[in-house]
Amino acid sequence: MVEDIVVTLELRPLGVKCNIQCQYCYQNPQRDAGNVLHLYDLEKMKATALELGGSFTLFGGEPLLLPEKDLEDIWAWGYARNGRNGIQTNGVLINDAHVQLFHRYKVHVGISVDGPGELNDARWVGTLAGTRAATAKTHAAIERLCREGIPPSLIVTLHRGNATADKLPALHDWFRYVEGLGVSSVRIHILEVENPFIRQKYALTTAENVAAFKSFLALEQELTRLDFDLFTDMRQLLRGDDHAATCVWNACDPYTTRAVQGIEGNGQRTNCGRTNKDGIDFVKADEESFERYLALYHTPQVYNGCQGCRFFLMCKGQCPGTAVAHDWRNRTEHCDVWMALYAHLEAEMVAAGETPLSLHPSRVAVEQAVLAAWTQNQYLSVAAAMEQITRGGETAVSPTTTTHGDHTDHGDSYHRDVHGDHLDHAHPYRTA
């Protein structure tokens, strides 16, 4: 069975051009290589968007560097066709005119920010005073959008500046605060490390990352409206429900990046920038393939594969942009973090009387069905594989329903990039 794939278009009129200089930005290799496009042609971009179909979101770099007349042009066009729009921004430049455009053209705003005050210092603007002033503007924009009834979703990257043990209490307080404002969706990223300097200065250790995530799991119990969609994803994946999972869990081919259909300023189609390790924005390959995932399944973990991992159906080696040694053939360098978190959530489910797919007797049969599809260059979701096996008369696979009948609480988590209509405005691994 080949499944229909609904994609999200990312329009990047200014490429990676940005108004600030986040020190850890995964797009820096492209800037360092001088691959920054300065010209754009909205008509060419629209033509490519029409060809691909579907709604789009504006990305950068920083897309609010676009003149307001061009923002209005592209959003009016998008609204007329799709009834909605999106943007992912660092929020620093948001002004009155932008807010009017957000209202008028139904623009959902995703803001990339790492917390208040000093917690956001890695999003550097040249001087400490300038950085703090820019952070204050971002926070004022979040407050304003919430006041105006269009709360943004947030993307927060964890690093030594905001998620070490001494910083976590302030980050928690801020999550409580933004929930009070009306923010309901926060996506948390582990820092994607591009060079040894960034690793030394900003990267958390595995233990620190795990401790931070576990602290957010505890905080989640207290929050009533704010959703850390990462945990929603991971729980659903353990239940074998991947229909709404974000791209990082879905066997992303680095040469086609199914979840990200980029359109550059000259109308050219490109991939997710997370895989541009050499600073080159390669054009998109014609056909998706799954070599990385077939290789990871069969490669021993000692050689940076995933062989024998009971969480493979959930994790699949994770995002190729985070692969060990910047080589997409390897599994993610954050394997230890994800394994610890999956084990933690798995134990919670077992304690609640559920049998996660990771412990289900049919797990290997489901793996084989998914692998068989990959060898044909076809994407088969885990949910569809489970259905196939059940229909085929093999062991019934129902890891979600051992005692709890209905766990389909996935309706409102974000970036339904592969199969849904949600968060066409915010690529989950984008840091604007």
Residue 55 in contact with residue 84, Cβ under 8 Å? yes
List 175, 255, 312, 379, residue binding ligand SF4 (CB under 6 A): 312
φ, ψ of residue 319 to 5 degrees: the values are -60, 130
Alpha carbons 356 and 136: distance in angstroms, whole number: 43
Q: Pattern 223-252, binding to ligand SF4, x per CB under 6 A?
A: ------------------------xx---x
- Contact between 105 and ligand SF4 by CB under 6 A: the answer reads no
- Contact between 419 and ligand SF4 by CB under 6 A: the answer reads no
Pair of tokens at residue 262: 């980029």
- Contact between 311 and ligand SF4 by CB under 6 A: the answer reads yes
Residue 288 in contact with residue 258, Cβ under 8 Å? yes
Per-residue CA distances from 16 to 327, 399, 430 (Å):
22, 43, 11
Work out how close the CB of 315 gets to ligand SF4 at its nearest, in angstroms, rounded to a whole number.
3
Segment 336-355, which members bind ligand SF4 (CB under 6 A)?
Answer: 338-339
Measured from the CB atom, the residue of 164 and 378 that comes closer to ligand SF4 is 378
Work out how close the CB of 193 gets to ligand SF4 at its nearest, in angstroms, rounded to a whole number.
14
- Contact between 260 and ligand SF4 by CB under 6 A: the answer reads yes
- Contact between 263 and ligand SF4 by CB under 6 A: the answer reads no
Alpha carbons 188 and 175: distance in angstroms, whole number: 12
Point out which residues pair with 112 in neighbouring strands. Answer: 155
Alpha carbons 400 and 273: distance in angstroms, whole number: 35
Prior bond of 61 cis (ω within 30°): yes
Stretches 74-82, 162-170, 310-318, 360-368: which one binds ligand SF4 (CB under 6 A)?
310-318
- Contact between 309 and ligand SF4 by CB under 6 A: the answer reads yes
Burial string for 294-323 (b: 16+ CB within 10 Å, else e) reads ebbbebeeeebbbeebbbbbbbbbbbbbbb
- Contact between 319 and ligand SF4 by CB under 6 A: the answer reads yes
- Contact between 321 and ligand SF4 by CB under 6 A: the answer reads yes
Alpha carbons 13 and 71: distance in angstroms, whole number: 10
- Contact between 432 and ligand SF4 by CB under 6 A: the answer reads no
- Contact between 87 and ligand SF4 by CB under 6 A: the answer reads no
Measured from the CB atom, the residue of 155 and 168 that comes closer to ligand SF4 is 155
Closest by CA position to 384, among listed 262, 250, 288, 293: 250
Q: Pattern 267-286, binding to ligand SF4, x per CB under 6 A?
A: -----x-xx-----------
Measured from the CB atom, the residue of 179 and 346 that comes closer to ligand SF4 is 346
List 26, 216, 290, 429, residue binding ligand SF4 (CB under 6 A): 429
- Contact between 134 and ligand SF4 by CB under 6 A: the answer reads no
At 33 the three-state DSSP class reads coil
Alpha carbons 62 and 84: distance in angstroms, whole number: 20
Measured from the CB atom, the residue of 228 and 328 that comes closer to ligand SF4 is 328
What type of residue sits at position 311? Answer: F
Return residues touching ligand SF4 (CB under 6 A): 247-248, 252, 257, 259-260, 272, 274-275, 301, 306, 309, 311-312, 315, 317-321, 331-332, 335, 338-339, 429
